[in-house]
Structure 1
Amino acid sequence: MVSSQHEAMHRIFKEDSSFVARALRLLGLPFGDPTSTADLPTDLTETRPLERRVDSLLKMETATGTFLVAIEAQGKKDPDKPGTWAYYLAHLYAKYRLHPLLLVVCKDRSTASWASRPMHIGPPGRPTLTVHPLVLGPDEVPVVHDPAEAAKDIRMAVLSAMVHSRDQDVDVILKALSAAVKGLEVSDPEAAMTYVELTAQGLGEKTRAVEIWRKLVAVDTSFFTSPLSEEIRDEGRTEGRASDVLRLLDRRGIALGEADRERVTSCKDLDTLTRWFDRAITASSAAEVFLDGGPSGG
């Protein structure tokens, strides 16, 4: 199953027609800004039952020619990828008669180093086909730690946060990005919301970086109205109400078993917690609080 983190790492290149060109210039390629960019279907499946799907595929027209850019988010080394990528490139060239570039985005140096090596297919010493991806990893994507710099190119700052999400000083990158996105909220709130969500996805679930980002977004409750900020504020409300329920029962001398205490702290439904709080005001036992069923007792 494809993760939201994986999706974010290649989705960041869409919607801004010049961002791929800016990213490729990080690799030293004299890639001019495109005059147009088309988002092509990513399904490379043949008529026989064999499904091949590239992560993102763009057709870019530039002053020096028209190219295809196949973008892959790669989280770890995969010995099957040379064959898969070779198939993508050969199929794309045969289908569109345009020269394809393979751009691989990695979050760690080990995977980036592996992906950047030429991958030979064919007899030793005489390969029939060589796949040589272009790779954007921690060594290629700059660390954007200045809010002013982040504001100049927020999409690049988002990519920087994703690629450097495992760095010790990722909090500096995220603070700069947060300031830049907050500055965008007034002029383009929809874009600000997109960057907030895309960053959260790209940082991965249950990581130190995403927790830092969530806290930055939640600092000012008037900041964003994105699903992420609403989720954070909902979590804060439920955690506070759960604490109220436990404190009230403790003050009233009503003992809770471990199962009931866990039930309260793990509940994410504010209405349920409010109902338990109201019952806890007059209840004489834990069983009266949890009339909905489930654990009870002292």
Structure 2
Amino acid sequence: MVSSSHEAMHRIFQKEPGVFGRAFRALDLPFPEPIAVSLLPNDLTETAPLERRVDTLLRFDTEKQGSYLVAVEAQSRKEPTKPASWAYYTSYLHAKYRLPTVLLVTCQEKSTAVWAAGPFSIGPVHWPMLTIRPLVLGPHNVPVITDVRAAASDIPLATLSAITHGKDANAGAILSALADALRTIDREDADIFSELTEQGLANSPALKIWRELMAVDTAFFRSERAMKLRAEGRDEGRDEGRAEGRAEERAESVLCLLEERGVVVSEAVRERVMGCRDLEVLRGWFARAVTVESAEDLFRDGED
């Protein structure tokens, strides 16, 4: 039951709203004397269902620092109303789970990422009641991964790099490295990360490159001889048979990519590509195969 003292402690502000500012003058808080005050309904209950969904919500449990929540929001553009939603998400999750909450915003545009970092404050400028400071991942701080070994060592990060930098000038090199790296892991997992990459690249020029790269992924599994060589050398990373098998796989992928793109491959080009055993040269040809107009352009500038 609400006590009389409870009532008096807030109703005095209904009777004399100006006491709010005057009471804080001793603290030098600059709340000015109002020229008008309106009494609004005090019922904050939402009479109609209001759907609010965070994109992804995760709970992290740690050994030394306890548990916390990570709410992930993907943001494609600046939205003036979004910070209010983020404040609601953060407050609601804290009230519901009684756990510290971190808001992570992911962006593909640098300007959006800079805006999303905030901070966003709710309340008067001189006395903000709530400040939202999201953690932001975007083109400005997600690493550019163009090395196959680096991509293979952390496939999820390489996937995030490919999605985040999908509009960059070097998107082709990033995607090529990821495509090669995916062929080093379980096929089912590779399919999952491949699909995530395709979804993340939607409506970007890099999507066409990615689809062309994925169109040839079966080439890495088609050669029985290459598979046999890979099996024989799987316990020795520098085994000659394994290296030869990888070279044959990569050579087949170069030719398959050209054919998928409708580029005519002459017998001379085919023999030269299939006869190459230099993995770095083959990787360079594979990257060029994404854009060349003729198969002979693979060997431009006299490179082998």
Report SS of the residue matched to 2:184. Answer: helix
Match of 1:93 in 2: 94
Report SS of the residue matched to 1:57. Answer: strand
CA 220–127 in structure 1, closer or farther in 2 if over 3 Å, else same = closer
Report SS of the residue matched to 1:183. Answer: coil
- TM-superposed CA distance for 1:48, in Å, is 4.3
Match of 1:171 in 2: 172
Give the whole-Å Cα distance in 2 for the aligned partners of 1:200 and 1:132.
30
Give the whole-Å Cα distance in 2 for the aligned partners of 1:89 and 1:105.
16
- Is the aligned partner of 1:208 residue 2:205? yes
Q: 1:55, 1:70 within 8 Å by CA — same for their partners in 2?
A: yes
RCO greater where, 1 or 2, for CA within 8 Å and sep 6 or more? 1
Give the whole-Å Cα distance in 1 for the aligned partners of 2:47 and 2:84.
19
Give the whole-Å Cα distance in 1 for the aligned partners of 2:47 and 2:214.
46
Give the whole-Å Cα distance in 2 for the aligned partners of 1:109 and 1:74.
11
TM-score with structure 2 setting the length? 0.56
Structure 2 counterparts to residues 24-39 of structure 1, below 5 A: none
Q: Deviations over 1:78-106 (max 9, x none)?
A: 00111100000000000000010000000
Q: Which amino acid aligns with 2:199?
A: Q
Match of 1:61 in 2: 61
Corresponding pairs, count: 181
CA 96–165 in structure 1, closer or farther in 2 if over 3 Å, else same = same
Match of 1:252 in 2: none
Match of 2:187 in 1: 189
- TM-superposed CA distance for 1:208, in Å, is 1.2
Q: 1:121, 1:127 within 8 Å by CA — same for their partners in 2?
A: yes
Q: 1:151, 1:181 within 8 Å by CA — same for their partners in 2?
A: yes
TM-score with structure 1 setting the length? 0.57
**Structure 2 unpaired stretches of 5+:** 1-45, 222-255, 263-304
Structure 2 counterparts to residues 124-273 of structure 1, below 5 A: 124-184=125-185, 188-205=186-203, 207-222=204-219
- TM-superposed CA distance for 1:219, in Å, is 2.8
Report SS of the residue matched to 1:143. Answer: coil
Q: Deviations over 1:107-133 (max 9, x none)?
A: 011000000020011112211111110
CA 49–144 in structure 1, closer or farther in 2 if over 3 Å, else same = same
- TM-superposed CA distance for 1:222, in Å, is 3.9
Q: 1:217, 1:223 within 8 Å by CA — same for their partners in 2?
A: no
| Percent of matched pairs sharing the same residue | 53
**Structure 1 unpaired stretches of 5+:** 1-45, 225-232, 241-298
Give the whole-Å Cα distance in 2 for the aligned partners of 1:209 and 1:223.
22
Give the whole-Å Cα distance in 2 for the aligned partners of 1:223 and 1:47.
59
CA 195–49 in structure 1, closer or farther in 2 if over 3 Å, else same = same
Q: Which amino acid aligns with 1:200?
A: E
- The two structures, once aligned, show a CA RMSD in angstroms of 2.3
Greater Rg over alpha carbons, structure: 2
Report SS of the residue matched to 2:131. Answer: strand
Give the whole-Å Cα distance in 2 for the aligned partners of 1:223 and 1:91.
49
Give the whole-Å Cα distance in 2 for the aligned partners of 1:181 and 1:175.
10
